[in-house]
Amino acid sequence: MSDQLELSHDQINAFLKRYEIFEPVLAVDSGAFGNVNANYGIETQTRRLVLQRVGRKKNLDQLRLSSHVANTLFARDFLTPYFHLTVEGDPFIELDGEQFRLMSFVADPVLEDRPSVADALRIVALAEDLHAALNRYFRYVDEGDRRYMTSYQDQPDLIVQAAFERRDLSEKTRERNDSVRPFLDAHFDEVRRVRHCHGDIKFGNVIVTPDRIGLLDFENYNVQEWGWEIGDALRSWFSDQLDNVTWSIRAADFEAFLGQQPWFTKRDAVLHTLRTTAKLLVHLYTDREDGRYYFSSEPTPVRLEKVDVLISRHETLLPALLGFARERGYID
């Protein structure tokens, strides 16, 4: 299927009936296309829904689990979307080799700008609450869910390990991967903690209102060391885009956050951020050669240009973060 919606209203109505929704479709908005998924807004007589065309076709077991996780949190009054299940109890419907799933529309606006220090603190506190809620729930899950959960445990470590073990990569890619390896071998002040993690708390996946914080897009949900989660979040929240290919640090805000947060030593927070940036660079360097994930549907010259922009941003962020931390004595 192309990025344009090729489903008729009759087909969408048939989809909704599989989800036991018996209301005619009034309008369809084929608006939000990302690198991986495409989302179509649907309006019926009484509901607003989002039909998501799933891009990660090889990861359906993990996506089933992520749907289940979101529904578990939704039932416990977390601000998350709810994924509808078909009459067969599955979140997915298949058509012409494409998988679709249906979720409730979340009316609250997604955070489009990097969060304030106060909001960043609230988001991390929510991540702690999320861990506690899922930890209670997953003590009682059936064996199928437990198998899915443990299959994807420690995924960031496995991604990095797999890249360094490959011998089919070009010498240049191996050299680039090796160049950031020291950041991946950090020694931390505190014992590493395993958590139920959202997996991608960038500001575009967070809802911030005066009363509540919410999370969208649980596709990268994982049980992993919490430092991976926090490092990814801090890189997203406190980077500063100087131009299209150059990133720096929002130094004053980052310093204020580190001074107020109770979860990590300042040194560990910086090391986690450096490590997750290096992990992403390994993923980017490797995928630049493979073309399996980032912008994989684009023509090769376009894909390489876009991947190189991402690489440049994170390659410039690393020295900026190092300089920030060393000036303040957070690391040697």
- pLDDT above 70 (res 246): yes
Q: Is the pLDDT of residue 252 over 70?
A: yes
Pairing between β-strand 222-225 and β-strand 206-208 as defined by DSSP bridges: unpaired
Tokens of 156: 């960031």
DSSP-derived secondary structure letter, 152: T
Per domain, the residue ranges of the chain are 9-104, 117-327
Q: Which of 35, 54, 2, 33 is nearest to 309 (CA)?
A: 35
What average pLDDT does the segment 59-63 reach?
A: 74
Alpha-carbon distance of 73 to 79, in angstroms, equals 8
Domain 117-327 of CATH type 3.30.479: no
**pLDDT (average), residues 303-328:** 96
Q: Which string of b and e fits 274-297 if b means at least 16 CB within 10 Å?
A: bbbbbbbbbbbbbbbbeeeebbee
Read off the pLDDT of residues 188-230 as tens digits, 9 standing for 90 and up.
999 888 888 898 898 889 999 988 999 988 888 888 889 999 9
pLDDT category at 2 given cuts 50, 70, 90 is: very low
Burial of 156 (0-12, 13-18, 19+ CB in 10 A): buried
List alpha helices for the chain, DSSP H.
9-18, 60-75, 117-137, 143-151, 155-165, 171-179, 181-184, 226-238, 251-260, 266-290, 300-327
Tokens representing residue 62 in the block: 């993990």
| CATH topology identical between 9-104 and 117-327 | no
Residue found under tokens 């809620």: 133
Instruction: Kindly report the CATH class assigned to 9-104.
Output: alpha beta
Distance, in Å, from the CA atom of 73 to the CA atom of 212, rounded to the nearest integer, reads: 14
Identity of residue 121: L
* pTM as predicted: 0.84
